[in-house]
Structure 1
Amino acid sequence: MPEKGKLLEGDCLELVPRLVRRATERFDLVYVDPPFNTGLAHRARGKQGARIRGEHAYADAWGGLDAFLGMLEPRLAVLRDVLAETGSLWLHLDHRTVHDAKVLADRVLGRGAFKGEIVWVPGNGARGRRGPSVTHQTILVYAPGREMLWNHQDPWLREPFASVSQKMHFKNQDASGRRYRDRTIAGKTYRYYADVGRQLGSVWSDCPAMRANTPLNPETTGYPTQKPERLLERIVRATTREGSRVLDPMCGSGTTLAVAARLGRRWVGVDRSPVALAIARARLGV
């Protein structure tokens, strides 16, 4: 990996406050992927997909929603206090807890700090016969500072225009042959190029889940709830610059850290699970 960082074993509630002693040590991105309150114990898997005997990767049983939220609240407060002025916190949850956690996060981080939510469609999930299938997860985005760093021109935050739109609107060509359209808004004319695409929306369906590809995907580590690098790369590119500081306080297999290292960001990962940290260390070479 081109950039070294820190991997710490323990509870982020205790460890994270020690990481920031001056303003320059604050984090530009905090990505939080807590347990989802599934009531299950998760084991790691080998490269061929078989469960590994022995210690669980982590237990996701809290004794009810109130206990889960009670775990989350003080940790969000700690993470809020280590954000840089233009930093953002991304809280990744699913249908089991996201609605209650949103109310909690509004209280801890500030209702005005809420910037929006990403609906991630990983491409897997059970299809139910008795009601709507839940085939997405939600990432809540908060930025308590006055202005959130957002690299809106990054190619990872763009998507192609709809084919119908390209046929109907992009009929002009410039001297180099690029197709474009001009739009006048409030008396000012803007030029849009077909090959640049449009700003990405809030539903991300182009980042397939790891489980759908395991064990064939070379990216897999066998960690039970590993997120795809493509998802994290979009988040890191959107909210940081080269040299920025990235924190994953429940880092699991280290996907956030691997992406941050590859993109030249400084990173810190924390996890309570020895299984998770062993996988992350092997992945990161630290």
Structure 2
Amino acid sequence: MLEEVPALSYGDPDNRNMLIQGDNLEALKALIPFYAGQVKCIYIDPPYNTRSAFSHYDDNLEHSIWLSMMYPRLELLRELLSEDGSIWVSIDDNEAHYLKVMMDEVFGRGNFVANVLWQKRTSPDARIQLGGAHDHIMVYAKSAEKVVFRKLTISPEQAKNFKNPDDDPRGPWASADFTAQGWRPNQMYKLRSPSGHEFEPPPGRCWGNVESEYKRLLHEGRMWFGKDGTARPRVKNYLSETEGISSWSWWTNSEVGHNQEAKKEINVLFGADDAFDTPKPERLLSRVFEIATDNGDLILDSFLGSGTTAAVAHKMNRRYIGIEMGDHAQTHCQTRLCKVVDGEQGGISKAVDWQGGGGFRFCKLGEPVFDAYGKLNHDIKFAALAAHIWYAETKTPLAKSADSPLLGMYDGTAYYLLYNGILGDRRPQGGNVLTSRVLAELPGLGDHAGPVTIYGESCRLGPSRLAEHNITFKQIPYDVKAL
């Protein structure tokens, strides 16, 4: 169960952002009943297992231990991901290929999208004969058929590639090849340019579209044959009509930043003596979120580190959940997000015109549903158990506040929970035990004709009475299953 720490929350209290301090495995388990299938984008930057020791992370795990650490967390992250969502995992060469195999198993090999290469350095390391210049970002979809990636906004530098040498009234344009790979019978025609030159597709290729579409483009002045009209045809793409450009899997440091840039950002925030060891530049996370999310989408980072993911998500008007263990959840992440809310101007702030605002809730892990021995925790509150049971039964998050024994209806079945005196009386006859009087008081039962599942401490009704009302009774704690 997650419990808010109001003294560490900050900004607008009416926000839906969350910073969680605690072990990320337990935090992910606590999030499942409330957020399963709702996260649009997951970005994580787990320890790289580089056999080095960082002041904020133990990054010296044995290979098998590292894999064992990652696997259950990836399984939980998959449950939290929406059907049209994606997960992006930063990693270096030490574990990248093992991570790829593991993610193939968890997410399905057919849901692999790309291995993005981020050029993290600005120059070679003279101490190494063949120095690594890049990190990997493994990208997987929850469902390759449903995920949608957005085009990147054209930068001022890219806009310079659009010219208007023929004074086209539509404005600047850039030309693209009007051929395609392969052989398609209806795209193998001979075409004629306005200057009378005839062209056929080059060997091994066909034209980029059928002849009727070529004639339409030609009629509208959207074809280009070079300044003298004799060059092989190309199609014009106008700056005014361009929605953006598709990203490819090679991200240069000039586009999305590098290690030195990230270090400078973090030094400004925390000072050189208390900076995080391996931060990512804000521009890198901005690129991920521009491709994978829209305004208001939910982003999750369960290895929050110095808080970059949450800071960038906040500035880009995305919702977020960040998880970090240890004291630096407060000293780094909470401190950084307070500065973001106050309008700090580092990183991408000027690029996105960030002026401050919003807020976040700071939470810690409360009592778990099950204790260390796998038994139901006697101190668990009604709302936490209700969310747990609802998800265990329906595999969907509990959408409403759990303040009634009627948890909701799902697929024709009504689900009830009798626990912790929800009906106002802790005595057996007062609500935790299914009796005739309790049955009569259950809200909505009289209007429901379908099956009913009731969780309670015990049942005083016989089998015939339960069958009469189409009730399946499940006893707490024995019938409460772990997720």
Q: Identify the match of residue 257 of structure 2 among 208, 213, 220.
A: 208
Aligned to 1:273: 326
Counterpart contact for 1:92–1:140, Cα < 8 Å: yes
- The equivalences for 1:1-286 within 5 A come to 5-21=17-33, 26-43=38-55, 57-62=56-61, 64-124=62-122, 127=125, 131-145=129-143, 146-152=145-151, 154-155=152-153, 160=158, 171-175=165-169, 177-181=171-175, 184=178, 185-187=208-210, 188=213, 191-193=236-238, 198-205=245-252, 206-211=255-260, 214-215=263-264, 220-221=269-270, 222-285=275-338
- What letter corresponds to residue 147 of structure 1 in structure 2? K
Q: How many aligned positions are there? A: 267
Within 2, Cα distance between the matches of 1:141 and 1:135?
A: 19
Within 2, Cα distance between the matches of 1:131 and 1:162?
A: 38
The alpha carbon displacement at 1:220 in A equals: 4.8
Shift of the 111–161 alpha-carbon distance from structure 1 to 2, 3 Å rule, reads farther
When the two structures are superposed, what TM-score results if normalisation uses the length of structure 1? 0.81
Counterpart contact for 2:171–2:238, Cα < 8 Å: no
- What letter corresponds to residue 137 of structure 1 in structure 2? D
What CA RMSD, in Å, does the superposition of the two structures yield over aligned residues? Answer: 3.0
State the structure with more CA Rg.
2
The alpha carbon displacement at 1:34 in A equals: 0.1
Counterpart contact for 2:32–2:79, Cα < 8 Å: no
Deviates more, 1:220-229 or 1:79-88: 220-229
Secondary structure class of the residue paired with 2:101: helix
Aligned to 2:454: none
Counterpart contact for 1:151–1:238, Cα < 8 Å: yes
Aligned to 1:51: none
Q: Provide Cα deviations, 1:116-161, integer angstroms capped at 9, x if missing partner.
A: 1110002247525664221100000000223113112x30699738
Q: Provide Cα deviations, 1:198-230, integer angstroms capped at 9, x if missing partner.
A: 533211112222435644777554211111100
Counterpart contact for 2:40–2:86, Cα < 8 Å: yes
Deviates more, 1:16-25 or 1:264-273: 16-25
The alpha carbon displacement at 1:264 in A equals: 1.1
Secondary structure class of the residue paired with 1:211: helix
Counterpart contact for 1:29–1:83, Cα < 8 Å: yes
Higher relative contact order (CA 8 A, sep 6+): 1
Within 2, Cα distance between the matches of 1:157 and 1:76?
A: 34
Report percent identity of matched pairs.
29
Structure 1, unaligned runs of 5 or more: 44-56
Within 2, Cα distance between the matches of 1:128 and 1:263?
A: 38
The alpha carbon displacement at 1:193 in A equals: 3.2
Secondary structure class of the residue paired with 2:89: strand
Q: Provide Cα deviations, 1:261-280, integer angstroms capped at 9, x if missing partner.
A: 11111110001232244211
Counterpart contact for 1:37–1:61, Cα < 8 Å: yes
Shift of the 198–131 alpha-carbon distance from structure 1 to 2, 3 Å rule, reads same
- What letter corresponds to residue 6 of structure 1 in structure 2? M
Counterpart contact for 1:30–1:246, Cα < 8 Å: yes
Shift of the 71–22 alpha-carbon distance from structure 1 to 2, 3 Å rule, reads closer
Secondary structure class of the residue paired with 2:58: strand
Structure 2, unaligned runs of 5 or more: 1-10, 179-207, 218-234, 339-359, 361-483
Deviates more, 1:14-23 or 1:122-131: 122-131
Counterpart contact for 1:122–1:207, Cα < 8 Å: no
- What letter corresponds to residue 60 of structure 2 in structure 1? A
The alpha carbon displacement at 1:5 in A equals: 1.3
Secondary structure class of the residue paired with 1:7: strand
Q: Provide Cα deviations, 1:231-285, integer angstroms capped at 9, x if missing partner.
A: 0011111111111100000001111111111111111000123224421101111
- What letter corresponds to residue 260 of structure 2 in structure 1? R
Secondary structure class of the residue paired with 1:81: helix
Within 2, Cα distance between the matches of 1:242 and 1:273?
A: 31
